[in-house]
Structure 1
Amino acid sequence: MSVSGICEICGTRDVHHTCSRCAQLVCSEDFDEETGLCVECLAQVGGGGKERQRSPENMPDGVDTYRF
């Protein structure tokens, strides 16, 4: 199936995928190939995709890591 348009998550890139859970049209950056889910659905179901893998360089300001 061919899809065309703008990513429904970021609104800036061309779409290449459709989320198998919510059917949003998303770009490659906002899609997890392994699960077939967009990053929003992946975060909701607790998957370990792009959204969950954050390095210190791409964390927002004011976010610290606490170890107990």
Structure 2
Amino acid sequence: MSVSGNCEICVTGEVRHTCSRCAQLVCDEHFDEETGLCVECLSDVGGGRGRERQPPDAPDGVDTYRF
């Protein structure tokens, strides 16, 4: 699929990707290849460059389960 236009975040970059969560059309600068998310969704879900990510099914702030 070919998409042309400006990034919906910075409005200056050329669209190269579509966020898999919100479907925003974004440029290379505002897209995370590893997750397939735009930078806005990445910050909403707690991801980001340089931060350790938890598995998607882990509740916020919990890294160990005890029974």
**Structure-2-length-normalised TM-score:** 0.70
**Which structure's residues are more often helix, by fraction?**
1
Q: Is the 8 A contact 1:42 1:49 kept in 2?
A: no
For the aligned residues, what is the CA RMSD?
A: 1.5
Equivalenced residue count is 51
Greater gyration radius: 2
| Aligned match of 2:49 | 49
Report 1:11-50 matches (<5 A).
Answer: 11-49=11-49
Partners of 1:24 and 1:49 lie apart in 2 by: 20
5+ residue gaps, structure 2, are 52-67
Partners of 1:25 and 1:33 lie apart in 2 by: 14
| Aligned match of 1:5 | 5
Partners of 1:6 and 1:21 lie apart in 2 by: 19
Structure 1: 4+ residue segments shifted above 4 A: none
5+ residue gaps, structure 1, are 53-68
